[in-house]
Chains A and B, each alone.
Chain A
Amino acid sequence: MNAPLKIDAEATRAELLARYPAKVARKRGRHIVENRRSERPEVEANVRTVPGIISQRGCTYAGCKGVILGPTRDVLSITHGPIGCGYYSWLTRRNQTRPPSPDSPNYMTYCLSTDMSEEQIVFGGEKKLREAVREAFAQFKPQAIAIHSTCPVGLIGDDVHQVARDLREELGINVFAFSCEGYRGVSQSAGHHIANNKIFQEVVAHTAPTAHIPAPEGAFKVNLLGEYNIGGDAFVIEDLFERAGITLVSTFCGNSDYVSMAQARHVDLNLVMCHRSINYVAGMLETSYGIPWLKVNFIGAAQSAKSLRKIAKFFGDAALAERIENVIAEEMARVESAQAEIRGRCAGKTAMLFVGGSRAHHYQHLFSEIGMRIVAAGYEFAHRDDYEGRRVLPNIKVDADTRNIEEIHVERAEDHFVERRDEAVDARVSDEPGEGFGEYEGMMVEMEDGTLTVDDISHYETERLIEMHKPDVVCAGIKEKYAIQKLGVPSKQLHSYDYGGPYAGFAGAINFWRDIDQMVNSPIWQLIPAPWDRPAPPPSLEAELGPNLSSITE
C-alpha cells in the first residue's frame, strides 16, 4: 500500500476560500470536502453557481441539444432561437457515428436554426418556427424532428409543444419539442433531464409513432445508457459485446438512431454508464417494463472486465460466461504489456480531475492502473448521489431550481411489462455494496482519505490547487486546458479527449495511458524557463567543473 498523499486538506480548503467575499466563501466551503471513506462526508452539489466566479458549467440547452440529442444521427434537431446556440453546438462535441450505409440518414454535420431576430422577439416566433420545420422537412425528409428552445423562447411565450403537435399531424412524422431554455437549471444536468424525459415519452414509450418498429432479434439483449461515443468509445464497447455474443439493442445516445431507441423497451437488462445523465431513465424503464439496471464502467481495463462479468452473472449462461472470459483474456494480454511499460514511467505521479458528471470518477481507475494518484477531483454538474452514492437520494433537499425541472412519473405499461427478476437472477447478481441492481456508490468512497472533493470548481480554486499541490496532469475541459497549461502543467481534456481516443474498454485504456505518458513525460515542460532564467547550478558543482574545464583549456 502506498504511503498516504501528503495533502493538508484543511489548509488547502482554507486557502481556496481565503480571497472570496464572506458569503461566497460560506457557499463555496460546502462544495469543498476532505475525503474520509469511513465517514462519507456530505458535499453540496447541483446548486446555483455564484455569479462572477468563473465556473466550468454550461446551460440547460447545452445539456439537452448538445449532450443528449447530439449523438443521434437521424433525429433532425432544430434550434429555435438566435443563431448562437445552434452555432456553438454544431459539431463541437465529438460524438462519432457510423451510419449503416452511405444512403442512411446522418444529420450530425448540419446545424439548423430559426435564427430568431428582433421581429420574433417582439411578435412571437411560432410562425417562423413552423415554417422552419416545414423547410427542414422539405430538405431532409427525416422521420423525426426535435425542436430545442433557447432562452428567449420561454420568455416570449412561444408554445413549441403545440407547434410540434401540429406539425406531427401535418407532416406525418414524429415531431417533439424541448423546453430546454438555458436558464432552466443550474447546469447542463437540467438539460439532460429535460431531454431524457421527452425521449422517454416521445420515442421509448410513445407507441403511435413507433408502432411499425419491430422488436429486436438476438440473445442476451441489453441497452447501454449514458454512453455518448466521444472519440469512438461506444464503438469499442460495441465490439466487445459483439465478440461476447451480447446483443446491444440501443445506446443512449452514442452512435444511436431513432429506431434503436424506440426498441429500448425490449431488452433484458439496462447497463448504466454515466449515472448522472441518465439514471432516472433506467428507473423509468424498470417501472414501466420491468427491466432491471446495473451500474457499469467501461473506463479502465479492470473496470471493463468487471463490467463484462457483471453481465455474465446476470444472464447466468455458461457459454456466454465463457465467451466473456475469452474476450477478457485476449484483451488483457495486450493491456498488461502496455500497462507494465507505461506504469514504469508514470507511477507515483499525481493527477486532478475536474470534469463532467461521471468522468471525474471513472477516469480515476485508468490513472490508478498506471500507478498515478488522485490529489483532488470533482464534477462540473453532478448531484450528491454521484459523489456519495445513491443511498443519499432520500436525503437530498429538493430546492426551487430542482422543482423547475419536470419530474415524470411513469406507470407499469401492462401490455409491455415483463418481470425479469426472480430469485435465481437475484442470487447471481452480487449483493456487494454498489454492485447490485440499481446501486451506485459514487466517487468519494473510492478516493484516498485526506484527498479533496471539489464540486463545481471555479477557475480561482483550480489555480490555487495547482499551485499548492503541483499535480503532473489535470483533467478538465477546453475552457480550462490552456489556462492550466500556462501554469506549466499539462491538461487532458476529458470532454473531447484532445481529439484522440477512444478511451473506453481495453483498447481505450492503452490509448489513454499512451496519451498520459506523452503528457507527463514530454520534455517541453522542462524547457519553459529560458536558460538565462534558470537557477544557477549549485556552487559545489561549479567547483567540480572548474578544474576539469581549466584542465581542458590547458
Chain B
Amino acid sequence: MLLRHTTDEATRRTALTVNPAKTCQPIGAMYAALGVHRCLPHSHGSQGCCSYHRSQLTRHYKEPVMAATSSFTEGSAVFGGQSNLLQAIDTIFATYEPDVIAVHTTCLSETIGDDLVQIVAKARTEGRIPEGKDVFFANTPSYQGSHITGFAKMVKSMVDHFAQPSERPAPRLALFPGWVEPADMREMRRLAALLGQDVIMAPDTSGVLDAGMEAEPSFYPAGGTTMAELRALGSCRASLASGPSASSLAVQALEGKTGTRYETVELPIGLSATDRWIEALRRASGMPDVPAHVRWERARLVDMLCDMQQYLYGRSVALWGDPDQLVSLVEFCIDMGMRPRYVVTGSSSRSFEERLAAVVAGRCPEMRVASGHTADMLLLHQWIKQAKVDLLIGGTHGKYIARDESIPLVRHGFPILDRVGHQYFPTVGYAGGMRLVEQILNAFLEVKDATCPEESFELVM
C-alpha cells in the first residue's frame, strides 16, 4: 500500500498537518503575475521559494515558468533584503528586459520586516526602473492563508498599482477570472464576446502558460494582460469577480479606488454556476436575451446529462482542492444527481462553508466538510476508509488514495502533475461542463469495463 500508515481512525490533531490540501501564498502570486504581459515575477526571499514555485508550476503546465529571486543568504536575513532586491531590479531590467517586475514577499522577508513600499520607492528615485517600465508588489507571507490568498493579493495589487480612475467609463467589463487554467480564461473571454461584452481580463495566463511552439521563440510569450489594460481597469463600467476567494479582493479594491460597481459570482463550473455567471455577464452587457449560441451550448450539456443519468445518479464523490472550485463542483455534482460525500480544502475561509451550504441547500445532508488548518488529505483518506465513495475529484496528490482504495480519480484543480489537458481544454462554461461530464462518465464506465463479470461486459453503454 502506498499510504500504508493511514487507518480509518481519525486521530485528533491540532498541530500537525499531514498531506496538505493547500500550499503557500507566494506560488499564487507568481501564477497571477505570469498573467501580466512581459512581466517577470520576482520572489523576495530565499532561492528555494522561487525554485519550488517555478518547479511546481512547470510540472503542472509543462511550460517555461520564468521568475527571479532575491537569493537571500544569512547576511540578508540579518540585515534585511533591500540590497538584494535593488540588485535584482538592476540585473533583471538589464538582462531580461521585462516591461514590469511583480515582486512578492515570502515568510522570510515578511518575518524580518522588509518594507517593500520603501524599497521599491528607493529603486524608483534612484533611477533603477527604466523609463516606461514598472515594478509593483504584493505582500504574501507564507504563514497566512494559502496559495489562493497569494493569488488574490497579487491581483489586488494589480488594481492598486495600475488602475486609473476615469471621468468617462468605457462600456467594458473588468473581468477577474480567478485562479483558473489558461484555457478557462480563454473560454471566459469567448463567452463574454458571445454576450457582446468587451472585457479586460486580469490576469490572463492564456497564451503564456499554454503557449505553443513557435519557430521564432520569445522569452516573453504573446499572452498576458498589458500594463495599458491594467491601467484601463479603472475606466471599466463594472467589474465581475469569478470566485470570491480568488477575486473578491480585486473588485473591492477597484471599487474603493475608482468607484467601479462590482458583482461577485461563483466560478462558472458546471450547469447552475455557469447559468448565474452568464446572467451576470448579460446584466453587465445589457443584452436583453442570452444569444442562441450560448443557449445551444447549455442545451448540449443538459442533453448529455439527461442521456447518461443512469451512470451518475446517486454516485458518491469525495472532492478536495480550492474553495472556489469546490463550491461550483459540489453544486454541479448535485445537479448531476451525484452525492458529494466529503469536501476538504486546506484554505481557510470564513465564508467557504456558508457558500457550500448555500449551493447545497440541504440536498446532501450526509456531506462532511473540513477546511483550514489540519483539513488535509490524511483526514480525507480516513473518512474514505470509514465509508467509501465511488469517485474522487481533485489534484494529482489524490492518486495515492485512488490506487490504495481502488477508486477512480478525475483530476481537476491545482496541481495536476501527471496528465495533460487541463491547460488546453477548459472546464468552465457549458462546453467545459461537458468535458467534466465526459471525464466523470468515462471514469465510471472504465471501472465497469475493467471489473464487471464477463457475462455483463457490454458493447453498448
Contact = CB atoms under 8 A, between A and B. Distances in A.
A215 B62 CA distance: 48
A413 interface: no
14 contacts: A54-B68, A61-B46, A107-B5, A110-B5, A115-B374, A132-B15, A136-B16, A139-B16, A151-B111, A183-B46, A183-B74, A482-B62, A483-B64, A488-B217
Among all A-B residue pairs, the 5 with the closest Cβ atoms = A59-B48, A52-B88, A84-B24, A182-B46, A52-B91
A117 B91 contact: no
Contacts of A229: none
Interface stretch (B52-60, B153-161, B258-266, B385-393): B52-60
Interface in B25-72: 25-27, 42, 45-49, 51-56, 58-59, 62-72
Contacts of A197: none
A83 B84 contact: no
A154 to B, nearest CB: 7
Contact of A487 (B48, B92, B95, B217): B217
Contacts of B24: 82-85, 87
Given A128-B15, A139-B18, A478-B58, 4 more contacts: A82-B142, A83-B22, A90-B397, A404-B74
Given A48-B73, A115-B373, A121 B19 contact: no
Interface residues of B, number: 83
Nearest to A79: B17
Nearest to B97: A19
A84 B74 contact: no
A400 B76 CA distance: 13
B313 interface: no
Contacts of B219: 463
Interface in A145-188: 150-152, 154-156, 181-187
B51 to A, nearest CB: 4
B38 to A, nearest CB: 15
A416 interface: no
A183 B72 contact: yes
A48 to B, nearest CB: 6
A49 B70 CA distance: 9
Given A128-B15, A479-B65, A529-B215, A57 B20 contact: no
Nearest to B213: A528
A365 B26 CA distance: 40
Contact of B108 (A56, A114, A152, A477): A152
B91 A50 contact: yes
Contact of B66 (A85, A154, A483): A483
Contacts of A187: 47
Contacts of A90: 19-20, 397
Interface of A: 19-21, 24, 48-62, 78, 81-92, 102-103, 105-107, 109-118, 120-121, 128-129, 131-132, 135-136, 138-140, 150-152, 154-156, 181-187, 400-401, 404, 458-460, 463, 477-479, 481-483, 485-488, 528-530, 533
B321 interface: no
Contact of B58 (A112, A401, A459, A481): A481
A117 B51 contact: no
Interface string B304-324: 000000000000000000000
Contact of A110 (B13, B18, B59): B18
A155 B112 contact: yes
Nearest to B76: A183
Residue in A84, A118, A528 whose Cβ sees the most chain B Cβ within 10 Å: A84
Contact of B23 (A48, A88, A120, A155): A88
B106 interface: yes
A486 B47 contact: no
A152 B143 contact: yes
B51 A57 contact: yes
Contact of A58 (B52, B146, B374): B52
Contact of B106 (A151, A184, A482): A151
A78 B20 CA distance: 13
Contacts of B2: 109
Interface in B180-226: 211, 213-215, 217, 219
A107 B106 CA distance: 28
Contacts of B55: 88, 92, 477-479
B437 interface: no
Given A84-B49, A115-B373, A183-B74, A139 B84 contact: no
Contact of B142 (A48, A84, A140, A482): A84
B456 interface: no
B177 interface: no
B370 interface: no
Contacts of A530: 215
A113 to B, nearest CB: 5
Contacts of A59: 46-49, 51
B292 to A, nearest CB: 34
B442 interface: no
A400 B74 CA distance: 9
B123 to A, nearest CB: 12
A490 to B, nearest CB: 12
A155 B77 contact: yes
Contacts of B87: 50-52
B18 A112 contact: yes
Contacts of B58: 478-479, 481-482
Contact of A55 (B20, B71, B76, B111): B71
B141 interface: yes
Nearest to A401: B73
B259 to A, nearest CB: 32
Contacts of B217: 486-488
Contacts of B56: 88, 92
A92 B51 CA distance: 13
A150 B77 CA distance: 13
Contacts of A49: 47, 71
A83 B71 contact: no
Contact of A62 (B52, B84, B108, B146): B52
A111 B18 contact: yes
A87 B71 contact: no
A54 B96 contact: yes
B87 to A, nearest CB: 5
Contacts of B374: 115
Given A51-B70, A112-B18, A182 B144 contact: no
Nearest to B72: A183
Contacts of A186: 73
Contacts of B85: 51
Contacts of B107: 81-82, 116, 121, 150-152
Contacts of B299: none
A183 B52 contact: no
B48 A486 contact: no
B153 to A, nearest CB: 15
B46 to A, nearest CB: 3
B94 A401 contact: no
A114 B15 contact: yes
B301 interface: no
B220 to A, nearest CB: 11
A20 B63 contact: no
B111 A182 contact: no
A51 B17 contact: no
Given A83-B24, A135-B11, A151-B107, A51 B215 contact: no
A154 B143 contact: no
A103 to B, nearest CB: 8
Interface string B269-295: 000000000000000000000000000
A533 B48 contact: no
A152 B47 contact: no
Nearest to A88: B52
B75 interface: yes
Chain B CB within 10 Å, residue with most, of A105, A110, A185? A110
A519 B94 CA distance: 34
Contact of A151 (B108, B211, B373): B108
B182 to A, nearest CB: 14
A27 to B, nearest CB: 10
Contacts of A138: 11
